[in-house]
Structure 1
Amino acid sequence: MSATRPKILGRALALVSLLAALLALPGTALADSRAEVSIMDDQLLLNATTQEQVDREMQTFVDLGVDRLRVSAFWNQVAPAPGARTRPAGFNAADPADPQYDFAALDRVVSSASSHGLRVMVSISTPLPVWASAEPGRNNPLWKPRPADFADFSEAVVRRYASLVDHWGIANEPNQGVWLQPQSDRSGVVAPHLYRGLVQAAYPRIKAIDPDSTALVGELAASGREGRGAKVSMRPLRFLLAMGCRDSRFRRIRGGRCKGFRPVPLDALGHHPYQLLLAPERRSRNRFDAAINDGRRLTTYLDRLIRTGALRPSRRRPNIFYTEFGYQTNPPDPFAGVSLSAQRSYLQQAAFIAYRTPRVRGLNQFRLTDGGLAGSGARRFEEFQSGLMFRDRRKKPSYAAFPHPFVIKGDRFFGHVRRGGAHRVRVERRSRRGAPFRMVAQVLTNGSGYFSFRLRGRRAGEYRYTYDAPAGTSAIVRVRS
């Protein structure tokens, strides 16, 4: 007998023992996360001119393993006479059947998403028609929306789509000057108080019509700036404090714009945890920002605001949904893009971070295709270039990895089979490029396709995982030591 044969047999027996242990002890291999995967691409979908175009994109989302579509109901695109200073005569803003409304583009998108088996979130969003501003003479579609008018619009949207939609976002990034103004003035912050008024007006209307739905409050951008001004965006945790009329130590503020304060209702918190050019594992330098690896900080603020009576949730510990996220790439954006390979890696790492963050129940991919290009210099790239495809629909490397993210951290293996439900996954390794892959573990995902386990004695090499029904293979992860 060859002197090497017992060693080979020993390794084979060890592998069999490892597989038996992993399959016999599902607690080591099964994740408990139910976090959904959503996608958003308003420019692509709302600008489509035919139902066939929209249906094609929905099928792409299904093929990528997406669970939910997020789409915006832009107030000034749906309501009549958006540039007028006075409300159109005879217009009933709370009635979705009013003939002056134009829901055609949104109808195409929502109906297609539902027919393709996707859950739907509609964000009821500014810009507003000028006539709905508290100061219409400014001709500013972001300036001081009147809560009563916003509530009417919210009612119309929910009445129209309640049978097809189960998540409602109340506004979009109200801590950003490009979505709500003024952010602040000489006397202090303004936008958090404006937003509180919008939530308090819209939330009861939403729940009266669709009581089993989830109304998401916040929808804040991950960062802001210091200083004051109508367009100077606020840091998200400062915004939440001000919205709840609490100071930095969570003590009640009773004067100024907080007179007559009432707690802010919510079912869940929506958040946009962009980290822009930095790796997702990096934490925000400013303690009032909240990027994707600051989830525990965000949760702490949420819970303290609830305990101090600033927020009134419908459940004791509301969930958090990351409803917008992504990485812009270079190419095409040389100013604010990461490399194509970094985007592929960062999106997978972000999936692992969201998975391990308590109470995060959703992660969004912002854009299927890159935004349009116009102008020159940095202004040419004002639209986000965070798609999984270039504008001409050439696929970026992240496209192939998106249906099955794979991350290895130390001896921890994480993956998510986004297409289908539960799967049996084969984790494979090869020692070097060109060598054959050999199975090192076989694990069961949970019902949402997640798996996470430790592989003791993990060796250097290249790893991937494969699965069936439908068949797929993850990207390769290289481990050096």
Structure 2
Amino acid sequence: MRSLVRPRLLAALTLTFAAALPAAAPAAVTQESMLQDDNSLIFNTPSGTAKTLDAIAELGIDRIRVSIFWATVAPKSTSQERPAFNATNPAAYPNGSWDRYDQVVRLAKARGIAINFNITSPAPLWATGDDSPREDITNTWKPDTSEFADFVQAVGTRYSGTYGAPGGSFPNPAPPPLCELASNCPAPEPQPPVLEDGPLPRVDYYTIWNEPNQPGWLTPQWEARPDGQPGFVEAAPRIYRGLVDAAYRGLAASGHGQDTFLVGETAPKGLNVQGTTRAIKPLRFLRQVYCLDDAMQPLRGAEAAARDCPQDDAGTAAFADAHPGLFAATGYAHHPYELSASPYKRPTDPDYVTIANLPKLTLALRNTFKVYGRPNGLPLYLTEFGWNTNPPNPLGVSLSQQAAYLNQSQYIAQNNPSVRVITQFLLRDDAPRPGRNGVTVGYGATFQTGLQYLNGKRKPSFQAYQLSLHMPSATVKRGGTLLVWGLVRPASKLGRQQVSIQQRRANGSYKTLRRVKTNPGRGILSTRVKVTTSGRLRLAWRDPRNKVVVHSRTIPVIAKR
């Protein structure tokens, strides 16, 4: 459905940002690696999904982020009239509606890959408001929180670890209209592989609603002031607050009350104009969700009433107990995209948050929680991230820049103790959509942030993502030492790995300067090497799974006299 593409489009057209971030003190040695690619994972044949998961396992990914689109599973999702069914019972949903999710959960478990379910729009029309002003936003318009709670409970029940859905051969039904998301929707597969039988694996990691500060996923973003005064008031933060409350109830009712529960899922930017479909900036959105004004003080009077917030001290004191999901959350999810600029470029807007100024979001969360007597704030989960490349996207960065920026961003995140996960968005590029945003020949409506091209051919970033290399400085006095940081991503499952630090000689061959072992946690190495001549440095690692030697990208170093 077209609305699903819009948030990506808005992000692609409005993201131009970053902020310099110094190397932080204690590194997050337990930080996970996550990847999302719904086209390749849930809008795919069983064998296609399995092939995608094999590549993800090769990369060393710990977890995949999977979108559960409410309208894809719900019965009669294009009808305004609610069908008669028990929405909390997964067995009451249409035959085959869960198959794509059962498939990916079973296949991922077989490869030791964990799941993050992001439960999100589009909503079935019968669960949305009936006063939408435009047809193109009806499936994101004022979603019913009670219906959402029931749907989340159904999801939690099905993936509780005890639900006895059969395995066997999945029928791979014809893709629903939502498969428009996947511009390369697969043809039905004649003989899908047989999957394990028995209870479905448990999913214990949930995020609520994708990019609620973007109109492609939630509307209205703004609405006319209820007091009759001219202008607009933020609507999406109030709606999202209700969706979090609903999801928290639904997960608790299905036995997931102690599982990972992330709120936020915010996009990195917004707009300076206000209106029904005008995106809200992430820090403004955060403040409004927690009923705070721009000075980080509780909203009061008419401004509070307009946003369904407490109007006095007593109401503020009861706010946390009234909205437990906002305060019992495991963490705050955010999408700190750059897409076409360096991860060290500083954002110009004080309410934007990119990979470069993450401490600003951490501070905002800490200050928010402090208002309500909860001193610690929330850790950060970066649940979408990446760079468009040229080729194929004419507005993307070069292939070498994508590889470098991913490595630099990994270093930034790894050295930020607030960050628990960073997620690569797309294994494989989206296809362009001719006729959409003609200035970019159809690419403006899709993402080319993959580690592979659409045809499956690997970009240089595939290997650079698997074996990351970053050097905070590449210039040194001859005979001095340089800090070399690296990440062997598969080491999180393989254990400590030996890595060679190599320098290219004048004849093109490489000399090993030093051999080091990664740490016992996530495959990090951080060491200093002596440099006597200028040249290019790289890492070399022999993958014990297939005996193939993997090389990182190379970085030119300068040894000055």
Shorter-chain TM-score bucket reads: 0.7 to 0.9
Following superposition, the deviation at residue 429 of structure 1 comes to 2.0
1:112-144 deviations in Å (ceiling 9; x for gaps): 112210011000001101110132665500101
User: Does residue 372 of structure 1 match 2:431?
Assistant: yes
The equivalent position to 1:168 in structure 2, one of 184, 191, 206, is 206
Give matches, 1:345-424, under 5 Å.
Answer: 345-376=404-435, 377=438, 378=440, 380-381=442-443, 382-410=445-473, 411-419=482-490, 420-424=494-498
Larger displacement relative to structure 2 (452-461 or 226-235): 452-461
Distance 2:281 2:369 in 1: 19
1:241-266 deviations in Å (ceiling 9; x for gaps): 01111011110013222334633232
Aligned partner of 1:325 in structure 2 is 385
Aligned partner of 2:44 in structure 1 is 48
Give matches, 1:434-473, under 5 Å.
Answer: 434-455=508-529, 460-470=534-544, 471-473=549-551
User: Is the Cα–Cα contact under 8 Å of residues 123 and 172 in structure 1 kept in the other structure?
Assistant: yes
- Please give the TM-score of this superposition, normalised by the length of structure 2: 0.76
Give matches, 1:240-389, under 5 Å.
Answer: 240-254=286-300, 255-256=304-305, 257-260=307-310, 262-263=319-320, 264-265=326-327, 266-309=329-372, 316-334=376-394, 336-376=395-435, 377=438, 378=440, 380-381=442-443, 382-389=445-452
Aligned partner of 1:95 in structure 2 is 89
Give aligned-pair identity as a percent: 34
The equivalent position to 2:270 in structure 1, one of 224, 227, 252, is 224
- Please give the TM-score of this superposition, normalised by the length of structure 1: 0.88
Distance 1:397 1:468 in 2: 18
Aligned partner of 1:17 in structure 2 is none
User: Is the Cα–Cα contact under 8 Å of residues 223 and 275 in structure 2 kept in the other structure?
Assistant: yes
Give matches, 1:421-432, under 5 Å.
Answer: 421-432=495-506
Distance 1:458 1:450 in 2: 25
Distance 1:189 1:76 in 2: 25
Following superposition, the deviation at residue 391 of structure 1 comes to 0.8
User: Does residue 112 of structure 1 match 2:183?
Assistant: no
Following superposition, the deviation at residue 31 of structure 1 comes to 5.5
Aligned partner of 2:168 in structure 1 is none
Give matches, 1:43-82, under 5 Å.
Answer: 43-49=39-45, 51-82=46-77
The equivalent position to 1:141 in structure 2, one of 139, 142, 145, is 139
Larger displacement relative to structure 2 (435-444 or 155-164): 435-444
1:7-63 deviations in Å (ceiling 9; x for gaps): xxxxxxxxxxxxxxxxxxxxxxx95521111110111222213x2221111111000
1:351-372 deviations in Å (ceiling 9; x for gaps): 1111111220111111111112
User: Does residue 36 of structure 1 match 2:107?
Assistant: no
Distance 1:93 1:221 in 2: 30
Larger displacement relative to structure 2 (465-474 or 239-248): 465-474
User: Is the Cα–Cα contact under 8 Å of residues 38 and 69 in structure 1 kept in the other structure?
Assistant: yes
Amino acid at match of 1:44: S
Aligned partner of 1:207 in structure 2 is 252
Aligned partner of 1:27 in structure 2 is none
Distance 1:305 1:317 in 2: 7
1:165-221 deviations in Å (ceiling 9; x for gaps): 221010000000111001112321110110001001211321342133101100001
- Give RMSD over aligned pairs: 2.1
Following superposition, the deviation at residue 432 of structure 1 comes to 4.1
Following superposition, the deviation at residue 375 of structure 1 comes to 1.5
Return 5+ residue gaps in structure 1 as ranges: 1-29
User: Does residue 182 of structure 1 match 2:220?
Assistant: yes
Q: How many residues align?
A: 446
Following superposition, the deviation at residue 459 of structure 1 comes to 5.4
